[in-house]
Structure 1
Amino acid sequence: MAKLEVKQIHTFYGNIEALKGVSLSVEDGEIVTLIGSNGAGKSTTLNSICGILTPRKGEIYLEKERIDRLPAHNIVTRGISQSPEGRKIFSRLTVMENLEMGAYIRKDSAADIRKDIDHVFNLFPRLREREWQIAGTLSGGEQQMLAIGRALMSKPRILLLDEPSMGLAPLLVDAIFEIIQTINKQGMTILLVEQNAMVALSIAHRGYVMQAGEVVLHDSAKNLLENEMVRRLYLGEE
């Protein structure tokens, strides 16, 4: 079985069915991306996996353990952490306090937690420079770095990234995606939701295309980049 397996989940907002039988898998060490237009169900899929939303039907497994009926905080302890859409940092806390909040579930020593904070600072040197700065005063790019760093502080087995390039200048987008590749090469399995399909597919191993709450296409990232429908609808080609 895959490291993460989503089987035919149906997730609702009230009476509105947002996900209509979504299935996907993520293997150990992969970057898998979900692409699609706004409202396709990409963020709802991530929120269903991490327990913010509970599917009415279907099953979700993390390394053979069923997790779709667990509360969100228990899913974090199992090894899934999300950097959410819009970052959602603790704006009135410092950079350091945000990182410490990311480690709130951990039972290991302060020295181990400090070691992982140093790892985040090595990935994101700007955060080290702003260690005691109030997070709400950071730039958009720095806040995105902090959101990813905070997610890493729980020591996840799978990292969920929701729109990490949103609102960022092109140079910062390149920097963020280079770091995502670095994290993956260090052994992190990643499920990535990203509006910028070209950038997402350029770093992913596989991809799923979502439309109106359903997966309509699944292939290697290389093949999706060459797919006529993907190129027309998501890469801006005529």
Structure 2
Amino acid sequence: MIDKQPKIYTEKDLANLTKRAKLLEIVEDLEKRGAKVDMTKYPSNTLKYLRQAVLDAQKQLEPTPAPIVPPAPVKAPEPPKPIPPILKSSTPPPMPVITPKPVPAPAPKTAPVTPPAPVRAPTPAVAPAPVQAPKPVQAPPKPAVPKPKIDWRTLPESTPEQFVRKAYWKILEREPDAGGLQCYVSYIKGNMPREQVEGALKSSPEYAALQRRKQASK
């Protein structure tokens, strides 16, 4: 009994199929014939991905053609080598004269010459230590001249920059640094109350250290 030829599914045949159940039957048929179908590779069981699963499984069942091995080249037979003619002579060839090799004379043995011991150079005299010049006496540092304090009550406060400078002299008793001046001016321009700026300066570690120095000097 002759086995029935298995059906080959083409892309045109699969495009005409619109039912999901029919495509699943085709996948089961290919798995029975030895194909391995991993359905997890396909995101969903839509008709498009089921058709692709059938095509991928069918490629596994296609027979792999055996590689064609070219025949080995046939070597041509080598031509026979010509045989040199034998010369006939009535007289035998003369025997070669062997010249004896000259024996070299032994070289005379000479006693090894011992080199003289090296002469040590005299030890140089140690130069006296140089006399160090006395170090110049450094002048005592000049005492720092305290900067005059500014009466904060006389400073204007109409602009944000003027208010921040007045708050620094009022609370920390110094000129504001560039970073602090820029920071607090931006806060005031961002609708921050001026009382909060003074509160932030009073809660700083610098203000607490200033108060401790004032109490210790009393």
TM > 0.5: no
Q: Which has the higher contact order (CA 8 A, sep 6+)?
A: 1
TM-score range, shorter chain: under 0.3
Normalised by the length of structure 2, the TM-score is 0.15
